[in-house]
């Protein structure tokens, strides 16, 4: 199965949770090789000891759709759509969340659903994909360890992928590849010509990704800045924001804060 080239050009990151803190552990692990063009990663966020007050889990914009659930309470399963801004989740006590992060377009391909209907929100998975919600509820509990999580998810998604007829639309994936290759620094009108009108391309992006080519490009540009891991000082000195297509520093700071939740200097250090 070959669909576009997303997995080779794009590695979405979630930098706001360090791998280990005193109270909370976060890790990402890869799916089976056959699934790595569909699923970016599986992830787990769990307490090492109950948090006394609350834990703020901030999810930055990454262009992806995630399914996530509470391992100890598998009835509590959700899907989070494409988000054009950061999202905060306030967690309390003890928790153990598991997630599946799908590459752009792949959730819509697997479940034959419009990503636009999920944009900028979290929904009960049972209301969106009841079969997937049922699988989670029936197969997971607090006794399942890291290796079992991977085995269960790999087996389920391998079967699902094998049953899915993917729409490898060269107009859509050609446009996505251009955006990824240019690291989001594109003029939608001038740089993307895949044989359809701007309006038709917008419809494809909204259905399969959840937002417009322009918004997706903005998120890709932001993600590439995160991947570069600049220091606060180098951002000022090297003018990375100009290279990334921002008009000026003020524009860069505003957009970064919308997507991350804090200013670049706070995210990367001064």
CA 7/CA 247 separation, integer angstroms: 29
Q: What is the pLDDT of residue 40?
A: 97
Backbone angles phi, psi at 165, to 5 degrees: -95, 110
Alpha carbons within 13 angstroms on the beta-carbon side of residue 94 total 7
Tokens representing 57 are: 């889990």
What domains are defined for the chain?
A: 6-163 (no CATH), 170-268 (1.10.10.60)
Beta bridge partners of 101: 41, 66
> What is the enclosing helix (H) or strand (E) of 68?
strand 65-70
Digit-coded pLDDT (tens) for 170-181: 999 999 999 999
Whether residue 146 is predicted with pLDDT greater than 50 in this model: the reply is yes
Listed range (110-114, 154-158, 231-235, 264-268) with the worst mean pLDDT: 231-235
Tokens representing 195 are: 């044989």
CA 13/CA 84 separation, integer angstroms: 15
Digit-coded pLDDT (tens) for 234-259: 666 656 666 677 777 888 889 999 99
**Residue among 180, 216, 203, 198 at smallest CA distance from 84:** 216
Q: Are 7 and 103 in contact (CB under 8 A)?
A: yes
206 φ/ψ sector (left φ>0, alpha ψ -120 to 50, else beta): alpha
21-45: average pLDDT:
94
53-72: average pLDDT:
95
Q: Between 12 and 268, whose confidence is greater? A: 12
| DSSP letter string, 214-245 | HHHHHHHHHHHHHHH---HHHHHHHTHHHHTT
177-205: average pLDDT:
91
- Which residues have C-beta within 8 Å of that of residue 216, sequence separation ≥ 6? 63, 82, 104, 176, 179, 205, 209
**Residue among 26, 135, 137 at smallest CA distance from 76:** 137
Angle between helices 146-163 and 130-139 (to 10 degrees): 150
Alpha carbons within 13 angstroms on the beta-carbon side of residue 34 total 11
**Residue among 159, 184, 66, 176 at smallest CA distance from 118:** 66
Q: Are 114 and 147 in contact (CB under 8 A)?
A: no
Listed range (196-200, 222-226, 231-235, 264-268) with the worst mean pLDDT: 231-235
């Amino acid at each position: 199965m070959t669909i576009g080239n997303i997995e080779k050009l794009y590695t979405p990151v979630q930098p706001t949770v360090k791998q280990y803190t005193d109270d909370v552990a976060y890790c990402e692990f890869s799916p089976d090789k056959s699934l790595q063009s569909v699923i970016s990663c599986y992830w787990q966020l769990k307490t090492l000891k109950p948090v006394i007050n609350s834990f703020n889990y901030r999810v930055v914009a990454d262009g992806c759709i995630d399914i996530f659930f509470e391992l100890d309470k598998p009835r509590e399963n959700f899907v989070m759509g494409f988000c054009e801004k950061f999202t905060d989740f306030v967690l309390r006590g003890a928790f153990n969340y598991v997630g599946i992060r799908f590459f752009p377009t792949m959730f819509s391909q697997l479940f034959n659903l419009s990503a636009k209907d999920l944009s900028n929100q979290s929904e009960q998975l049972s209301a969106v994909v009841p079969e997937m919600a049922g699988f989670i509820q029936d197969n997971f509990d607090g006794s399942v360890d890291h290796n079992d999580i991977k085995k269960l998810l790999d087996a389920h998604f391998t079967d699902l992928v094998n049953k899915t007829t993917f729409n490898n639309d060269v107009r859509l994936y050609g446009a996505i590849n251009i955006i990824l290759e240019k690291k989001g620094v594109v003029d939608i009108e001038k740089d993307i010509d895949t044989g359809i009108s701007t309006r038709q391309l917008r419809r494809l992006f909204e259905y399969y990704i959840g937002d417009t080519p322009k918004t997706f490009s903005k998120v890709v540009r932001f993600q590439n800045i995160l991947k570069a891991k600049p220091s606060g000082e180098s951002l000022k000195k090297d003018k990375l924001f100009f290279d990334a297509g921002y008009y000026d520093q003020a524009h860069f700071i505003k957009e970064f804060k919308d997507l991350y939740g804090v200013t670049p200097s706070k995210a990367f250090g001064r």
